[in-house]
Amino acid sequence: MRRWRHFTVVGCFVLACLAIVGRVGYLNFTQRDFLQQQGDARSIRSETVPAYRGLVFDRYGEPLAVSTPVVAVWMDPSRNSLGEADVRHLAALLDLDADRLQAELAASAHREFLYLRRRVSLELAGSVRALGLNGVYFQNEYRRYYPAGETTAHVVGMTGVDDAGLEGVELSFDEVLRGQSGRKVVLKDRRGDTVKDLEFVSAPRFGSDLRLSLDLRLQFLAYRELKAAVAGHRAASGSLVMLDVATGEILALVNQPSYNPNDFTPGDTAGMRNRAVTDIYEPGSTVKPFTVLAALESGDFAADSAIDTSPGYFSVGSKLVQDPADRGVLTLEQTLQKSSQVGIAKVALALQDRAVFDVLVRAGMGSYMGTGLPGEAVAAINDAGLGDPVVRTTLAYGYGLALSPLQLAHAYLTLASGGLRRPLSLLRQEMPPDSTRVFPAALAREVIAMMETVTADTGTAPKARVPGYRVAGKTGTARKVGSDGYDDERHVALFAGLAPVSAPRLVVVVVINEPQGQLRGGGEVAAPVFARVVARSMRLLGVKPDGPGDAA
């Protein structure tokens, strides 16, 4: 009886095995393609191979934007769910609110994909993996890091969570930097971990690197001095632009307030405006050198031409033009040196209707500069009303037109280069660009010589002087327009200049918007910033001193 039961059990077992083998063989023969398809659908996935975004460097190879590997943590709520304890552990590691995460998972039960958190560090992702939670997956990606932080924020910009450019050159050169992602086919286990790479469908194409014209040393110097000036004068904002005279390269471009692209809070956009490029101001007396240039071009004026400014005011139509005091008879050079409104107005009225306007346009005002920076404004200048003496008068001393700090710097670059108009560049140039002659070199040098007297003790900007170097420039103090016309309490303080005079190397424009306190003029507020920045820049660049004073 026992032997019979033994053989019966063994027989049943053998028959069952044979049935299973037969069934497997049958299915393998009749439904092979279907079963293979179902198996692949559960274990084989196509994944993106993220492209490495190109790096951004300054002109000497210092990194301004780099990409670091990070991890995105995600789930498929439609297939997996987490217990309350697991949710709390996960939320604690990812620095999320546990109750909010639980509610979001419940509300997303029908979704097949849900990011839990992106841009997680490799170390933190490893801690999450160690929890061994079923249904929590990981995806490799990159995050942008900006070593110079807020110092270069307005030029370099930043990327979003998807590593696409949002501001600055990250946006304007996005197609160059971002590259193209690749694809691969992988075998995954039931927990979603990759077991094996089966096939590389396409390799990622990495983004190209960019080398900017910025000099990080000069950028940091300009940023530090501008920030101190804006804070010291309790100003609303400020901008500084520095250009290389020989190439038209932008060596420094800074604004205040700024922002930190490494720790940007959505909604906090107060410091994001690139004011040097997007904001336009009436430039005030910084336009007067171009009025003087128009006078010299006419042939009716020379540097020593006499202009009677007595009694310190005169009427042009219904407008009263006045100086702070009666300066009597001034030469054309002294008119620029002392920034006489009356003298400049009388010069403008003695010229042809379009003379000053044409000089401003030839200098580049009103032209699109094409630097590649987002939001670049075009100067507000037109020839409407030039037949009206009031329009010609106000245009001659910087009212009735509006420029960005970068456009004003471009115009001064034309003077500094001896009458050659050069395009501006945010990318490093290996060769000087093609230039267009718009003014005679002799006249440009003569105007620069007059501008040098502005920094003398009897000029409006002695605080712009740099020990050891000859500098030339012009102050500007423009009233801002309010609801009831020009506001006597709100000003823009400007200084635009170049150095050294013997062989101009740098053009620098400083704009301090709405300074508070007793000092509000360009000579008191903006000129000292110019002097400190230029003094240190000359030494960093190794420019040979050309003037009196200690240049050590």
Rounded to whole angstroms, the Cα distance separating 257 from 403 reads 20
What does the block give as tokens for 181? 């992602």
Tens of each residue's pLDDT in the chain, 552 residues:
567 787 788 888 888 888 888 777 766 767 666 666 666 566 676 666 667 889 999 999 999 999 888 888 888 787 777 778 887 888 888 888 888 888 888 888 778 788 888 888 888 888 888 887 777 888 888 889 999 999 999 999 999 888 888 999 999 999 999 877 777 776 766 666 666 666 666 677 788 999 999 999 999 999 999 999 999 999 999 999 999 999 999 999 999 999 999 887 776 677 899 999 999 999 999 999 999 999 999 999 999 999 999 999 999 988 899 999 999 999 999 999 999 999 999 999 999 999 999 999 999 998 888 888 998 988 889 888 899 999 999 999 999 999 999 999 999 999 999 999 999 999 999 888 899 999 999 999 999 999 999 999 999 999 999 999 999 999 999 988 877 788 878 899 999 999 999 999 999 999 999 999 888 899 999 999 999 999 999 999 999 998 876 544
Q: What angle do CA 315, 318, 320 make, to 5 degrees?
A: 40
Give the residue from 379, 423, 535 showing the smallest Cα distance to 469. Answer: 535
Amino acid 147 reads P
Query: Residue 194: which H helix or E strand, with range?
Result: strand 194-202
Q: What three-state secondary structure class fits 236?
A: coil
Active site residue 239: no
User: Strand 436-437 vs strand 420-421: parallel, antiparallel, or unpaired?
Assistant: antiparallel
Environment class of 366 (CB within 10 Å of its CB; exposed 0-12, middle 13-18, buried 19+): middle
Q: What Rg value do the Cα atoms of the chain yield, rounded?
A: 34
Peptide bond between residue 63 and the one before it cis (omega within 30 degrees of 0): no
- What is d(CA 276, CA 284) in angstroms, rounded to the nearest whole number? 16
Spatial distance between the Cα atoms of 93 and 345, rounded to a whole number of angstroms: 70
> What is the distance, to the nearest Å, from the Cα of residue 439 to the centroid of all Cα atoms in its chain?
31
Nearest to 462 by CA among 495, 423, 510: 495
Report the distance separating Cα 255 and Cα 491, nearest Å: 17
Cβ(252)–Cβ(215) below 8 Å: yes
Domains of the chain, start order = 47-211 (3.90.1310.10), 216-259+274-541 (3.40.710.10)
pTM: 0.85
Cβ–Cβ contacts within 10 Å for residue 159, how many? 24
CB burial of residue 250 (10 Å; 0-12, 13-18, 19+): buried
Question: Active site residue: 172, 239, 285, 340, which one?
Answer: 285
Over residues 506-519, the pLDDT tens digits come to 999 999 999 998 88
